[in-house]
Structure 1
């Protein structure tokens, strides 16, 4: 059996199905023609659930807050100019306390409005913004800590390494000035030459850790091989490298190299291993880096609260939006794996 709807019933049922508040107001004018109020002439079911039966009643008497937040002026301007209006207001008056998105259009000598409660949406956005702000603050704090720790490490290297070597050079120069024996002078000069060469090597090493001079020219693979060659004296390093020698994004390439440096420094300083395997795969969508040693390992309770190196790596990984995992058993070595997406 077909149900026949009148136009009025069809319109009413369609409007009542909306979860938005749909209202129609007629302008109330004074003797000079100025709009001084609006009266309700239509409410859908959603509006009635908030207001009740208010047809024919005054907007300003029931909701005087519309003047404070500027809604009344917007309604009046729509009627007077004929231009639609869309606005968002925080309304904390009468029976409402929230955020509302409202569109208004002229309808005869009045106005038709559609109002949506967006309070939960705004709250969700605020929570997301706060979470993002907290995340950025944490990243900044971790980055600053790692930078301070890096400065301290370089300062210590300069003081304990280069500084002491140069002080020894100064002492030998004083001895050189006090001796006239040719053989002794030759021996002192030879020692000074060795000390200066040592200081130059130390400075080059520190400089390479800061910004490798060759990085721009030779890229990731060759710099990784250079680090292994330079540091591989007491530890056997075995490298497997897959993919192109260079990463197109220089910032990403330098970031990966810095992480690799930190991992290797940790292996040398803390692992007490004699073998370290390195795997690097440069893919189109992801950079995969694994450093695995056969050293003393990290105790489970210390894997999440580690020293300078891991803190610095965690900060870099957050900035690169990558993932870091640590696998270690006491006495059975450590495996650190990172995955970083390629933009």
Structure 2
């Protein structure tokens, strides 16, 4: 009788052990499935670009950058980004899969800050994910904007935990390579532009200058800088400044003008007088003093050729609007 009881107890125990082993196996299979499911839904964003070609010229007041997109331009730095980081998929809903995993060892998001004050324009790499710390769950948006505040360049970035989840703004000091408290910058919409064009807009001159640069050279003029004109009507044209004073002064830059990303006046040195006078002379046909632009009297329609900033101010004084 005792033997039968012992045998029954042994069978029950064996059954319990077998059940536990089966449940453990099933749990492991479920976990492996969840991990595979998560991995299959995770994708990574890679940002890798060619280095821009940079020229700083005319007493280091102007910067020309070619063959790159998505750059940000400042007083002391031109910035780009490179990286390898997780792209979140909001349809991962398995409870065993975290929405915002910690940043992996192979992930990075680097700001490439090309130093305009170094002869080689060497870039320093600032890994924002490392700056955020080892327990960081945030990734960095590719949206960025450079601000020039108190004689320094700062890069505004947005970090996020998921495509539509929590996000916050951060500010990167490009000179120190450190993150700053963005609150100290106040409302970024109120940060003034270092450039202005009101004093070169009298008589429709600024508008006419824009039109001439677009029509003649496929260049798009904005306050303080020039880019390639991407309007549909000029898409079939090449940027060509070979017959200008600019090509005589800066032949190497002129050759690369077809690949222009931006030509700009460095913010700290900016002067609307010098910018206007330079534009008129640079983009005039070779040997001419000024590109032909006119101020138009809004009352009489009389047109007066303007050959300099001072001439425009004198005309404006005689034609108060």
Give TM-score scaled by structure 1 length. 0.17
Bigger share in strand? 2
